[in-house]
Structures are given as C-alpha cells and as structure tokens.
Amino acid sequence: MPDQHNGPPTAPNPASPTDKTTADGPSASRPRVLILGGTSEARELAGSLPAFAVITSLAGRTSSPLLPAGEVRIGGFGGADGLAAYLRTQHIDVLVDATHPFAATISGNAAEAAGSAGVPLIVLRRPGWTEQAGDVWHRVRDLREAASLLPQLGHRVFLTTGRQGIAAFAEVDAWFLARSVEPPEPPMPGRLEVLLDRGPFTLAGERRLLAGHRIDVLVSKDSGGPGAKLVAARESGLPVVMVDRPPTPATAHTVVCVAEAVERLTTLRDAR
C-alpha cells in the first residue's frame, strides 16, 4: 500500500486534492494522521495504527534516523503557516505532536497550524521525572541557569542535554563528558569528551560511565522515560541539575502514552 511502506525517507510530496479519494483499497477510507516525530513514542505510535493512513514527519537532525512504519517525510515545514498548508494539501484529519518535550518551537507551530487549518491536535507527552528519596536534584529553568550552577556542584560533569544543549556550557570551567547522537558543533567547552550514543541505556552501563569517568555531577533535561542515569546518580549520591520543561500549548488535548493516543484517535475516527 502506498501509505504504509518502510523504505527510505521521502521528500515532502504534496498530494493533489484528489489523492485522498482516489487511493486504492482500504486506505481510501482510512483517516489521515500526521505524526510529528523524533521520539520513540512517535515510532511506536506509527506502528500501532493499522486503521489509519500514517505519515510521520522528522526534522532531519540525525543522519541515520530510526524510521517508523508508514510514510515518512523529512525536514521543516517553514513555520506554522507552512505546516498549516501541509495539513490542508495533504488532507490530514488529525495531527499528533509526539515530539520531544523540549522541542518547543515545533509544538507551538503545531498548535497554531492545527487551529488555523481546523485539524484536531493530540499532544503525546511522556510524563516528566519526579524526585525520589535519595535524589539530590537542583531544578533550573533552562540550560543557562544549569551552566551557572555547575562550578559550585562539581568539576567532572556528565552532560546529557543533547548536541544542541552543549553550547550553553562553553564558558564553564569544568571537565565534561557529553553524550549525544550526533557530534556537537562549536561553541563547546574546552575540556570535553564526546560520547556518541543513542538510548535506551542500561543501569549497569550508566553505573560504569559514572564510575569510570569519576563523574561528580549529572546535568539532564526533564525528558521523562526510563532514566537509568538518574537511578545510577541516586545510588552514588551524585547531585543532578535537572532542567525544567518548556510549557505545553494550553489548548491541546494531551495524552501521556501511546495507548492513550491510540484511544483518542479511535474516538475521533468513530465520531467522523
């Protein structure tokens, strides 16, 4: 079926207004869902919707992304207006924002575009982390505040804020182990070791990293998810600088897991 292939990523391919109604077989009547992706939940959701025609959109930040089931398009839309135009020309019935909790710009664009195109929006956001007994957390509003706290908290830092977050620490006088999927670009701290890796990470592996590099402070975004690094830090009594999430657009229908997203999509489909 043309809308359920697993091949290489395709460039945006605006459909003609007749594409929706002339498709062959059951896809002709399946609601069209655009998933804004880049997360494991987005991939899982794309593989959980046999009753829908699914397109996943990726920003194109990583050179070899893990591809979800269904159709994939890669690259920006050109702001909220571009996304709204895509929703219209592709006859999208529901938009799912399953992007990372820190991808605030695309989430804002999704809310605006869904509103102007009259397309229902579901936001799929995994819950953030909660401090537990034994944790020594310092919550901060952003990366800049995290950088300003560091010299007091430790001098061998495990930085897990992703490639784009490393620049905020360029002027901090400390040694950094930074983990990211893609190599970071300047500006970067002078004393930096880069570890290119992609999760999920095991507790045993995180323990080895902390001990092997004599880490004395961990910096993390409040991304949510398994969080083995937080367990390892807790066990070692290490301080954690935890960067708060940006706010979610207030108007969206928010769900916290893939099963809830499937349920909501099914409800919207049945109400058509």
The site for ligand NAP (CB under 6 A) is made up of 36-39, 57-59, 61, 76-79, 82-83, 99-100, 102-106, 109, 162, 221
CA 45 to CA 51: how far, in whole Å? 12
Give the residue with the Cβ less far from ligand NAP, 23 or 59: 59
- Alpha-carbon distances, residue 113 vs 80, 82, 101, 231 (angstroms): 5, 8, 18, 39
Give the residue with the Cβ less far from ligand NAP, 23 or 223: 223
Q: CB 65 → ligand NAP: shortest distance, Å?
A: 9
Give the residue with the Cβ less far from ligand NAP, 30 or 73: 73
CA 161 to CA 222: how far, in whole Å? 9
Give the residue with the Cβ less far from ligand NAP, 78 or 151: 78
Give the residue with the Cβ less far from ligand NAP, 23 or 243: 243
From the CB of residue 26, how many other CB atoms can be counted at a distance below 10 Å? 11
Q: Report the chain's terminal Cα–Cα distance, integer Å.
A: 23
Q: CB 111 → ligand NAP: shortest distance, Å?
A: 12
Q: CB 181 → ligand NAP: shortest distance, Å?
A: 8
Q: CB 57 → ligand NAP: shortest distance, Å?
A: 4
CA 4 to CA 32: how far, in whole Å? 12
CA 96 to CA 65: how far, in whole Å? 19
Residue nearest ligand NAP (C-beta atom): 76
From the CB of residue 86, how many other CB atoms can be counted at a distance below 10 Å? 22
Q: CB 223 → ligand NAP: shortest distance, Å?
A: 7
